[in-house]
């Protein structure tokens, strides 16, 4: 039964998040946690996320803006390593408030609130008329890349901040999605390198079928997302990103994820 559930979730999440460039891990990881210990669930989700992004590279890779990818991606990798290292030094006192939704414990932390505020701040550049015409130059790409990578390493949530920032680079819809995929691969490889020391705990022989189903299901979602890309407008992609950013920011700020 868990294979069917995880397969369906992986396919739908991959399809829904194809345009926004983030959200697959956010949706898939909690589902995996229902059946596996947290560390194994995160590692399995990371593998699915990386392989799905590599598959999307095959679908849309020709549209990548490599100038933006390297200017944004290299500092993002540096930031991800530093963020992951800094995570080890965060005190437990960073939890501001704890409450329960059913059996789930929700922890509101300073880090989550900061991430939520940053995501909303960048999203406002697409909503406030006075800010909507702004575009970020190369120097700001370095800052945005580092910030996205740092908070990704620190909290695991780097996609929304990255997408919010990339919206202001003036990329066309195909280039926006393809460049985001490359950047996601950079971060996935960086964070998965941290998981390698735990890979023996994943028991690939026991979970191989489930992992295969999840990966192939995500491929199916990405494939149909790419088919739909030809029929949607840049405005649709922008609106999808903004809506998902606000939803994720709310859930993150409230400690639900």
pLDDT for res 216:
92
Nearest partner of 123 among 14, 252, 248, judged by Cα: 248
pLDDT for res 4:
86
Q: What is the per-residue pLDDT across 62-80, written as a single tens digit (0 to 9) for each? A: 899 998 888 888 998 888 7
pLDDT for res 104:
75
CB atoms within 10 A of CB 51: 17
Q: What is the per-residue pLDDT across 116-140, written as a single tens digit (0 to 9) for each? A: 777 777 667 666 665 556 656 667 7
C-beta contacts of 99-106 below 8 A and 24+ residues apart: 99/255, 101/256, 104/256, 106/254, 106/255, 106/256
């Amino acid at each position: 039964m868990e294979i069917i559930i995880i397969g369906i979730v992986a396919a739908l999440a991959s399809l829904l998040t194809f345009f926004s460039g983030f959200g697959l891990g956010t949706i898939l990881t909690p589902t995996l946690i229902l059946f596996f210990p947290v560390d194994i669930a995160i590692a399995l989700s990371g593998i699915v996320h990386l392989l799905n992004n590599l598959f999307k590279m095959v679908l849309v890779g020709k549209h990548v803006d490599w100038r933006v990818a390297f200017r944004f991606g290299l500092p993002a990798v540096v930031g991800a390593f530093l963020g992951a290292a800094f995570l080890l030094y965060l005190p437990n006192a960073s939890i501001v408030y704890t409450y329960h939704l059913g059996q789930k414990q929700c922890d509101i932390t300073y880090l989550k609130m900061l991430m939520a505020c940053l995501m909303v701040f960048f999203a406002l550049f697409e909503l406030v008329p006075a800010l909507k015409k702004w575009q970020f130059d190369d120097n700001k790409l370095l800052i945005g890349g580092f910030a996205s990578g740092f908070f990704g390493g620190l909290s695991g949530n780097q996609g929304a901040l990255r997408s919010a920032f990339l919206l202001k680079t003036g990329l066309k819809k195909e280039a926006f999605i393809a460049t985001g995929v490359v950047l996601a691969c950079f971060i996935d490889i960086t964070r998965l390198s941290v998981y390698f020391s735990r890979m023996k705990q994943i028991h690939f022989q026991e979970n191989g079928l489930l992992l295969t189903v999840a990966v192939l299901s995500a491929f199916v979602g990405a494939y149909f997302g790419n088919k739909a890309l030809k029929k949607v407008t840049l405005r649709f992609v922008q609106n999808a990103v903004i809506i998902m950013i606000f939803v994720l920011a709310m859930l993150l700020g409230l400690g639900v994820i």
